[in-house]
Structure 1
Amino acid sequence: MADTDLTDSRARMTGTVPPSKILTTEIPRYVEDYSTRLLSIPDVASAVADALDELGIGAAITATDLPPVAADARMCGPAVTLRYVPLGGDVTGNRETGRGTTFGDRDLYGLGRPGDVAVMDCSGSRSGAVMGALSARWAVKAEIAGCVVDGAIRDTASILASGLPVWSATRNPAAARYRYETVQMNGQVSLFGHLVHPGDYIVADIDGVCVIPFFDVPRVVEHCENAHRTEVAFIDRIDAAATLEELVAGLTPGTAPA
C-alpha cells in the first residue's frame, strides 16, 4: 500500500472502504485540459483509436463489449479505479453470514475529482449489478465525468434520467449485494483484458471505449487534432466538388483520408 493519506478526500468519502484497500489517493494529472480538447473532436473514440493504432499504444474496446446506456453519450477523463471479485457460495448463505455487504462505488466517486472517470472491474463476473440509480446520482453529485463498468448495471431508466454517461458490459436486475467483495481501489484494473491504471485517460462514445496510457495523452491529443484538421479540409473538398467525377479527378492516388 502506498500514499493512502485521505486528508484531502475524507470529507467526500463515506469511509466504507478501509484504507488498507485503497492503493493510492493520488493519481498523475496534467495541468492542460486535454479532456476538453479531445471532446471538441467529432467521433472522438474513433479518432483516438486511430491515434492508438498509429502510435502502437493503448486499447480500443468495441461497443459490443461495452455499450453506452445512452446513444449520444460522450466522455473523456482520467481514470479512478475499483476492483471487485465474486464471492463463493450462494446468496442465501452469504446473506446469513453477512458476506458481500460492502461496496466501494461511493468512496470511489469521493476519491475522484470532478471530471474523473470511474472504472469498475468485476473480475469477469456478471452475476449482480454493481451500479444502479443511487450510485449514478452519487456520481453526478461528485461531478464524475462518467462510469465504465466491466460488469453489470441495473436501474437503467434511472441512470438515463440522471444524465450520467455510463458504459457497461451488461444489465442485470439482481444486485451486487451478497455476490461481490471489494478488493482494491485505485490500483490496476482490467477492461475486457486491457489494463487500466489510475490516471490513464478513458475516452468513450457510441462506438466504444478507448484507454490512453497517461504518459501518452499529449501526443495522442496532438495526433487527433492534426488528423481532424486534415479531415475537415477533405470534407470541405468533398462538399465543394460539383460531382463525384470532379472530386475523383482532383485526387492524388492514395491521398484520401480513411
Structure 2
Amino acid sequence: MATAPDLITLPMMRESLYAAVVSDALDSLGFPHQSPRLLLKPYTTGQILVGRCKTTLWADMAHEDPRPYDLELRAVDSCKPDDVLIAAAGGSMRSGIWGELLSTAAGNSGCGGAIIDGAIRDVAKIREMGFPVFARGTCVYDSQNRQRVIDVDVPVEIEGVRFSPGDLVFADEDGVVVVPQAVEVEAIRRAWNKVHAENVTRDAIRGGMKALAAYERFGVL
C-alpha cells in the first residue's frame, strides 16, 4: 500500500483529498471539532476548494457608514494565490455580503474561493465565473449600512470552530474542514494514507470481499 510522499502540495491535495477524509485524520490526532456542523452549501461550483485561510470578521450595523466596503476591499486586494477568503459573519442573513464584483476582484488576486458564514448574492453570475463560494444562504440586499468588515487577518470562529490566518481549509459538498497549522503535516499525511488505503479496500469489496472481512483485513472504513 502506498505511503504519503514527503511533500504533498496543494494541487496534490485537490486531486486526492476531500473534506471527510481530512476530518477523519484530524479525529485520529485528537482534533474532533474542526468542521462547523451547520452546512455551508457550495452555491457556485461542485469542485473541492482547498487553500489557506484569509480571514475577515464581520459585524451587523444599522447606521450610515462613512467608508463603506473599506476593509473588505482591502482584504480582497491583499489576497494571494491559493488563499480562501473566510467571512466570519456570525451566520447573519442581514445582507448578501459577497457577490460578483468581490468574486472577480478576489479571483484576479489569485484567491481560490470564499467561505461565507452568512449570505451571498449574484449567484448565477458567480457560477458563470466558476469561482467557488460556500455560504449559508442568499440575500438580495447589499451590505452597505447593513454589515461591514471590522477586522482582517485575525483568528475567527464559525460555529465555534476556529479559523486562523494561514490554516489549511477544505470545502466540498460534505462540509468545511479547517486544519490547524500545528498538526497540518501529520494530518495531511494521515489523510493521504487513508485515501489510498480506502482505494484498496474499495477494490477488494468490488471484487467480492465482504465488508466485515475487508475491514478486518485492511482496518479502513
What is the TM-score normalised by the length of structure 1?
0.76
Amino acid at match of 1:59: Q
Q: Percent identity?
A: 23
Shift of 1:107: 2.0
AA in 1 matched with 2:11:
T
Residue among 233, 239, 246 paired with 2:206? 239
* 1:250 Cα offset (Å): 9.1
1:35 aligns with 2:10: yes
* 8 Å contact from structure 2 (residues 204, 214) kept in 1: no
The answer on whether the counterparts of 1:81 and 1:189 sit within 8 Å (CA) in structure 2 is: yes
Q: CA 1:207 to 1:99, structure 2 compared with 1: closer, same or farther past 3 Å?
A: same
* Distance across 2 between alignment mates of 1:217 and 1:199: 11
Partner residue of 2:46 out of 64, 72, 78: 72
- Tell me the residue number matched to 1:189: 156
Gaps of 5+ in 2: 1-6
Q: Which amino acid aligns with 2:24?
A: D
Alpha-carbon distance change, 127 to 230 in structure 1, aligned in 2, over 3 angstroms: same
Partner secondary structure for residue 79 of structure 1: strand
- SS, match of residue 174 in structure 1: coil
TM-fit CA distance, 1:33: 5.4
**C-alpha contact (below 8 Å) 2:72/2:148 kept by paired residues:** no
* Counterpart among 20, 24, 34 of residue 59 in structure 1: 34
Q: Which residue of 2 aligns with 1:225?
A: 192
Q: Deviations over 1:215-247 (max 9, x none)?
A: 211111100111012111112212333xxxxx2
Deviations 1:15-56 (A, max 9, x none): xxxxxxxxxxxxxxxxx55322321225x0111111111112
Partner of 1:81: 55
Unaligned runs of 5+ in 1: 1-31, 242-246
The aligned counterpart of 2:213 is: 251
Q: Distance in 1 between matches of 2:70 and 2:94?
A: 15
Match of residue 214 from structure 1 = 181
Determine helix, strand or coil for the equivalent of 1:61.
coil
Q: CA 1:140 to 1:235, structure 2 compared with 1: closer, same or farther past 3 Å?
A: same
The answer (yes or no) to whether the contact 1:149–1:169 under 8 Å persists in 2 is: yes
Task: Tell me which of 116, 127, 140 is aligned to 2:94.
Answer: 127
Does the aligned pair in 2 maintain the 1:106–1:139 contact within 8 Å? no
* Amino acid paired to 1:35: L
Structure 1 contact 48–224 (Cα < 8 Å) conserved: yes
- Aligned pair count reads 213
Report the aligned-residue RMSD: 2.2
TM-score of the pair, normalised by structure 2 = 0.87
Asked whether the 8 Å contact 2:44–2:124 carries over to 1, the reply is no
Distance of 1:40 and 1:224 partners within structure 2: 13
